[in-house]
Structure 1
Amino acid sequence: MDSATAREQVLDAAEELFYGRGVQCVGMDDIREASGVSLKRLYQLFPAKEQLVEAYLERRDARWRGRLAAFVERREDPEERILALFDWLEVWFGEDGFRGCAWINSYGELGATSERVATQVRLHKGAFGAYVEGLVAAAGLPGTLAAQLFLLAEGAMVTAGITQSPTPAHQARTAAELLLRGCRAG
């Protein structure tokens, strides 16, 4: 097995286990067993668990943001794209195995002790915030709206992770509609 294939197998296993059970509950032996990659090869690819967590978050970020953008871009109207963000959250929250936001979960477990994890979380949240800013700018709305929408989305993620319900996305969408109406009214 070449290194690229082994790396993908390890990351697939890490994502399933870290997201499903939590980072601290999963050992490298668990990753080895789930991936089918030898422990020696695993440590060649990721000399420390922290590096594996970092790679897992980085890869998940690209896929997560890609899925979000693909969903939102199906809408033509710029304001509808803003609301589609919350529609996508509702779909995501309703998926089998949804356990909340992987970055918030990882930060809660390791953010205080792992600068690598904290950096990945900040990068992800920064990119998501910039994406929301772009949606707001494309709709010609005040830039201050982006921070409010970002907080609605983040709050919905945390609440959905705790309640295991897609309802917070719908509630956040309703609040976003009110904010958009307020902006339109002046």
Structure 2
Amino acid sequence: MARERKNSVRQSIVETASRLFYKQGYTSTGINQIIAESGVVKSTLYTTFRSKEEILMAYLESEGAVSDKELKEATEKVNDPKEKVLAVFDYLVELVQQKEYYGCHFLNVVSEVTKEDEAIRTQIKKQKNNVRQLFRQLLQPIGKGDLTDEIYTLFEGALAGNKVHDDVFPVINAKKIAEKLLK
């Protein structure tokens, strides 16, 4: 029973912080706001997490798992190996057009932290390397494994371009370039 409550409190803190970090940014979100909106008392928050950075790490781990799952599911909607790669870009097209889309969780955070924030940057690199690995897995069976980093760079560039322009065109254009590379 105590373990369930602890997990419930932890989940509440992470969900609240995740929403706030994503919508208003990591540095703009204060511990007091997380406490107020999650409904936990300060002492409970600090027995669950030692710091705001620990909460951020839990957020990044959680969002990384969700992102990996959704990207994999997008590729499973089609059978043709080349179409699987393009399905990742189709997923991005849908994602960036959602009303509550505020950019890539990981690019948002990495733009707010310094190079000295090694643990955070390592966690972000881990998630981004999972995306690279997904492209590698999709490209190798069709003899295009050498394009892994090029396709990955298109993916990341599409996310950055979307963030700058708040428009879907960078993702659509990245998909068009990926199609040309896969011919």
Would you call these one fold, judging by a TM-score over 0.5? yes
Q: CA RMSD in A?
A: 1.2
Contact 2:35 2:41 in 1 (8 A): yes
Residue 166 of structure 1 and its aligned partner are, at CA, apart by: 1.9
Using the alignment, how far apart are the partners of 1:38 and 1:91 within structure 2? 38
Matched, 1:109 2:112: yes
Tell me if 1:66 matches 2:69: yes
* Distance of 1:84 and 1:8 partners within structure 2: 31
Match of 2:145 in 1: 143
| Correspondence for 1:184 | none
User: Matches of 2:114 and 2:55 in 1, distance apart?
Assistant: 15
Contact 1:111 1:117 in 2 (8 A): no
Q: Cα gap change, 1:128/1:18 in structure 2, threshold over 3 Å: closer, same or farther?
A: same
1:40 aligned residue: 43
Of the structure 1 ranges 82-91 and 92-101, higher mean CA displacement relative to structure 2 is found in 92-101
CA contact (8 A) 1:98 1:161 kept: no
Query: Size of the alignment, in residue pairs?
Result: 180
The unaligned stretches of length 5 or more in structure 1 are 182-186
Equivalent residue, structure 2, for 1:162: 164
- Partner Cα separation in structure 2 for residue 147 and residue 113 of structure 1: 26
**Structure 2 unpaired stretches of 5+:** none
CA-CA distance at 1:3 after TM superposition:
0.8
Which secondary structure state, in structure 2, belongs to the residue aligned with residue 95 of structure 1? coil
Give the Å deviation of 1:54: 0.8
- What residue number does 2:85 align with? 82
For residue 182 of structure 2, what is the amino acid of its counterpart? L
Q: Pick closer, same or farther for the CA change 1:20–1:130 going to 2, 3 Å.
A: same
Report whether the alignment pairs 1:92 with 2:103.
no
CA contact (8 A) 1:98 1:164 kept: no
% identical equivalent positions: 29
